[in-house]
């Protein structure tokens, strides 16, 4: 609609469209989906450990890179090596992009070895947002134990602490026993990583095999740097030159190597953030883009450096491809992995 009036000269002057006149007359920009919202981050591990540290670090910076700048809240939901949290995200959590989680990679790996119906979720159906780091796991012992090398651990029984039957600390101790000839005796029942390290300090266990190097650094910053523990081996597809421990591949060779590679491959997405299955694609894409921007945020990188934890991000599509490759493994290889981890 237009308005016209007759001026002194008698000419008709046409104004701008009425819709453009006056304050508030212009069409308002649509509000971003995350505007005014809060994002909940479910952590599949107890407070105080490495996964909790990454969840809180990312949560402090993620909102800056999401349109609408939402707030973030972290909620710990430990249990069964992140399987409890995985089941919550898959079956109970709100699936609109306002609930995400960080889970132990084993939560995606374990259903490969068991009947998937036991887990009440399908690993490949999660929406992978990205991973904050590619972890290197360590087997280490107390200085008092006298066990300084894998050779030492192959000659004498070594009590190592763990949480649960299907945790990484149990799995890695088992596969080191089967594939590298160590004599780790596993004592389970500890609640989380902090309790495993306390068990070493109290003399209840001689060591742990294996914890992520970033987890150890976040809980006991001086243990690795100051040489307060004996580093027996580092486990990762690639050798981390900053860690003064021999690679696992010095002890696992020949036809045993593909078995170990499938197990260790889950570390390529060591700190995976996911959205529940069924989250709208638009929100998934927004989260994935913002996550990778967050990983490059100078403030986050500086804070991670102060915390002595690494940032080696992988994108959501990269993680999804790794998980698909795992589940495409030959049945005979999966059978060998299961026999190795469930001796």
Question: To 10 degrees, what angle do helices 281-295 and 50-62 make?
Answer: 100
Is 127 found in the same domain as 148?
Answer: no
Compute the distance between CA of residue 194 and CA of residue 216 in angstroms, rounded to an integer.
9
Picking from 216, 233, 266, the residue at the C-terminal end of a domain is 266
Picking from 210, 240, 266, the residue at the C-terminal end of a domain is 266
Q: From start to end of the chain, where are the E strands?
A: 4-6, 12-14, 38-43, 71-76, 99-102, 127-131, 137-142, 158-161, 184-187, 207-212, 229-235, 272-275, 314-315
**Assigned token pair, 75:** 């909620």
Is 73 found in the same domain as 53?
Answer: yes
Compute the distance between CA of residue 343 and CA of residue 341 in angstroms, rounded to an integer.
6
In a domain, 31, yes or no: no
Is 167 found in the same domain as 150?
Answer: yes
The reported pLDDT for the residue numbered 28 is 63
In a domain, 277, yes or no: yes
Q: What is the DSSP letter of 210?
A: E
Mean pLDDT of 281-285: 98
In a domain, 189, yes or no: yes
Across all residues in the chain, what is the average pLDDT? 91
Is 130 found in the same domain as 144?
Answer: no
Query: At a CB cut-off of 8 Å and minimum separation 6, what does 23 contact?
Result: none
Is 45 found in the same domain as 92?
Answer: yes
Is 145 found in the same domain as 261?
Answer: yes
Picking from 249, 266, 283, the residue at the C-terminal end of a domain is 266
The pTM of the full predicted model, rounded to 2 decimals, is 0.84
Is 114 found in the same domain as 234?
Answer: no
Among 99, 103, 95, residue whose Cα is nearest residue 119: 103
Asked if 186 and 167 count as a contact pair (C-beta separation under 8 A), the reply is no
The reported pLDDT for the residue numbered 30 is 79
In a domain, 105, yes or no: yes
CA distances from 250 to 146, 150, 171, 229 (A): 21, 10, 19, 20
Is 177 found in the same domain as 250?
Answer: yes
Is 309 found in the same domain as 206?
Answer: no
Is 171 found in the same domain as 252?
Answer: yes
pLDDT tens-digit readout, 221-264 = 899 988 899 999 999 999 999 899 999 999 999 999 999 999 99
Q: Could you tell me the residue range of the domain that residue 123 belongs to?
A: 38-134+270-341
pLDDT tens-digit readout, 261-282 = 999 999 999 999 999 999 999 9
CATH number at residue 163: 3.40.190.10
In a domain, 52, yes or no: yes
Does 178 have pLDDT greater than 60? yes
pLDDT tens-digit readout, 114-152 = 887 889 999 999 999 999 998 799 999 999 999 999 999
Does 83 have pLDDT greater than 90? yes
Does 211 have pLDDT greater than 80? yes
User: Could you tell me the maximum CA-CA distance found in the chain, to the nearest angstrom?
Assistant: 109
Is 147 found in the same domain as 241?
Answer: yes
In a domain, 13, yes or no: no
φ, ψ (nearest 5 deg) of residue 132: -80, -20
CATH number at residue 81: 3.40.190.150
The reported pLDDT for the residue numbered 90 is 98
Compute the distance between CA of residue 76 and CA of residue 46 in angstroms, rounded to an integer.
6
Q: From start to end of 77-225, where are the E strands?
A: 99-102, 127-131, 137-142, 158-161, 184-187, 207-212
In a domain, 17, yes or no: no
φ, ψ (nearest 5 deg) of residue 329: -65, 150
What are the counts of helices (DSSP H) followed by strands (DSSP E) for the chain?
13, 13
Does 200 have pLDDT greater than 70? yes
In a domain, 16, yes or no: no
**Assigned token pair, 327:** 């589940």
**Structural domains of the chain, count:** 2
Is 184 found in the same domain as 77?
Answer: no
């Amino acid at each position: 609609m237009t308005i016209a009036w007759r001026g002194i000269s008698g000419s008709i002057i046409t104004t701008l469209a009425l819709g453009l006149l006056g304050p508030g007359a212009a069409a308002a920009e649509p509000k971003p989906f995350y505007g005014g919202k809060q994002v909940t981050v479910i952590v599949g591990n107890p407070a105080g450990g490495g996964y909790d540290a990454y969840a809180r670090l990312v949560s402090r910076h993620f909102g800056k890179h999401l349109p609408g700048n939402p707030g973030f809240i972290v909620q710990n939901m430990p249990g069964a090596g992140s399987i409890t949290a995985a089941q919550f995200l898959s079956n109970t959590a709100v699936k609109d992009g306002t609930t995400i989680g960080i889970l132990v990679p084993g939560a995606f790996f374990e259903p490969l070895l068991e009947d998937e119906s036991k887990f009440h979720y399908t690993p490949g159906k999660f929406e992978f947002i990205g991973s904050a780091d590619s972890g290197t796991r360590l087997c280490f012992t107390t200085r008092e134990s006298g066990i300084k090398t894998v050779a030492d651990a192959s000659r004498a029984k070594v009590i190592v602490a763990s949480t649960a039957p299907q945790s990484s600390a149990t799995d890695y101790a088992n596969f080191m026993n089967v594939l590298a000839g160590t004599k780790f005796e596993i004592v389970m029942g500890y609640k989380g990583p902090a309790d495993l390290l306390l068990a070493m300090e109290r003399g209840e266990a001689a060591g742990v095999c294996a914890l992520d190097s970033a987890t150890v650094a976040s809980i006991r910053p001086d243990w690795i740097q100051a040489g307060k523990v004996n580093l027996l081996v580092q486990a990762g597809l690639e050798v981390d030159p900053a860690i003064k421990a021999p690679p696992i591949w010095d002890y696992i060779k020949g036809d045993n190597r593909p078995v170990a590679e499938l197990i260790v491959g889950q570390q390529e997405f060591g700190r995976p953030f996911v959205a529940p299955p069924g989250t709208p694609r638009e929100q998934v894409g927004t989260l994935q883009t913002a996550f990778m921007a967050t990983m490059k945020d100078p403030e986050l990188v500086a804070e991670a450096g102060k915390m002595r934890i690494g940032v080696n991000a992988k994108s959501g599509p990269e993680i999804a491809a790794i998980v698909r490759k795992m589940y495409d493994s030959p049945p005979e290889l999966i059978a060998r992995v299961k026999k190795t981890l469930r001796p």
